[in-house]
Structure 1
Amino acid sequence: MKRLLIVAHAPSPNTRTLRDAAERGARHPDVETVEVVVKAPLEAGPEDIRASDAILLGTTENLGYMSGALKDFFDRSYYAVLEEKQGLPCALYVRAGHDGTGTRRAVESIVTGLRWRWVQEPLILRGEWQAEFEEQIEELGLYLAAGLEAGVL
């Protein structure tokens, strides 16, 4: 059994919708051998990363940066997993009220230092809320879970 860890900051109804969509996609009935663990950044830590085979990160854009909660997750986990989780498949989605560039850059910098492996370009959900955001995130969750199950991630 493989494990997909979803660490998503979800302080609003819309961001909770995104987190739930990621989980729904990852738990698709056709994916039978992947355990999905969903945690808020302040509840997740190095032990969760160690137990995972892939990670999906979700954050809001806060003042052109990632959420403080996701930054705290990285602060508590970085050195604890640096040597043992290199190559961990990862993906990112950003709920950006503006352009998400600073947020993406900040997370990419940390992920590069950890030597995790991007499985796709970060998904930036820009501007006003759009119904298709939920569908995009659900597909991302399914993609990660199905990729883990198939052994291609």
Structure 2
Amino acid sequence: MSLLIIWHSRTGASEQMAQAAMQGCRAGDQCVAADAVTSEQILEAGGYLFVCPENLGSMTGAMKEMFDRTYYDALGRIEGRPYSTIIAAGSDGEGALRQIDRIATGWRLRRVAEAKIVNFHAQTAEQIWALKTVDREVLSDCEAIGAGLSEGVALGVF
């Protein structure tokens, strides 16, 4: 089984973090933009890493739309599979995290790694819309998250 990293990004932060997570992954794992994810990919994956920004206190609309498109096809068919999350936030990220966790609960996924919330402290329109550069230390953490999830899924540890 493989890890599926699903991401959406508006200003580059989530994409950079998803790509960093993918650097730690094994061959056969996938990193797919939320708007391109299919129900088949959800069903075939052995675990998931959801990476997105928080927008207006919620997960990004593109990530929500991915869940809307795939939810019922996967319902009852992926129980017990592992997941984790990486959230790019302007202030706290907790709203996006709660939403993803609620959907994961419906799918009966198991959180196997603590969520990583990266706060960019963007509070003005200019700061929010600005392209982001993620610190090397954060990218290293994301790579480690990807490696841990990938290895755990491959070994059947989760």
Task: Normalising by structure 2, report the TM-score.
Answer: 0.86
Corresponding residue of 1:134: 139
Corresponding residue of 1:12: 11
The range that moved more, 45-54 or 124-133, is 124-133
- What SS does the aligned partner of 1:35 have? coil
Corresponding residue of 1:86: 79
Match for 2:113 among 115, 120, 124? 120
Whether 2:45 is the aligned partner of 1:52: answer yes
Whether 2:151 is the aligned partner of 1:146: answer yes
Moved over 4 A (4+): none
Identity %: 34
- What SS does the aligned partner of 2:58 have? coil
Q: Distance in 2 between matches of 1:135 and 1:90?
A: 19
AA paired with 1:10?
A: S
- Superposed displacement of residue 94, structure 1: 0.3
Gaps of 5+ in 2: 122-133
Q: Distance in 2 between matches of 1:46 and 1:11?
A: 23
Q: Residues 64-104 of structure 1: CA distance to partner in whole angstroms, max 9, x if unpaired? A: 10011110011011111111111111111101111011111
Would the aligned equivalents of 1:64 and 1:101 in 2 still touch at CA under 8 Å? yes
- Superposed displacement of residue 35, structure 1: 1.3
Would the aligned equivalents of 2:13 and 2:88 in 1 still touch at CA under 8 Å? no
Task: Normalising by structure 1, report the TM-score.
Answer: 0.89
Q: Distance in 2 between matches of 1:49 and 1:85?
A: 8
Quote the RMSD (CA, aligned, Å).
Answer: 1.4
- What SS does the aligned partner of 2:35 have? coil
- Superposed displacement of residue 138, structure 1: 0.6
- Superposed displacement of residue 146, structure 1: 1.3
- Superposed displacement of residue 115, structure 1: 0.5
Corresponding residue of 1:67: 60
Would the aligned equivalents of 2:18 and 2:51 in 1 still touch at CA under 8 Å? yes
Gaps of 5+ in 1: 28-33
Q: Distance in 2 between matches of 1:16 and 1:113?
A: 26
- What SS does the aligned partner of 1:103 have? helix
